[in-house]
Amino acid sequence: MKKHFFSTLVALVCATLTLACCGKNDGDRSVIPEQDSTAFVNISDVVPDAIFEIRYFGTYNFVGTRIDGYLQPTALLTREAADSLRAVSDELLSRGYRLKIYDAYRPQGAVDHFVRWAADVTDTLMKPYFYPDLDKSVLFDQEYIMAKSGHTRGSTVDLTLFDMRTEKEVDMGGTFDWFGPESHPDFCGNPATGEYTGDNSGSPCGRSITAEQFANRMILRTAMLRHGFKPLDSEWWHFTLTDEPFPETYFVFPVNQL
Residues marked as catalytic: 235
* Nearest-angstrom CA–CA distance, 15 and 42: 38
Longest CA–CA span in the chain (Å) reads 93
What are the residues whose beta carbons fall under 8 Å from the beta carbon of 36, sequence distance 6 or more?
251, 253
Contact assessment for residue 62 and residue 124, using Cβ atoms and an 8 Å cutoff: no
Q: Are 194 and 218 in contact (CB under 8 A)?
A: yes
Amino acid at 66: R
**Phi, then psi, of 10 in degrees rounded to 5:** -60, -40
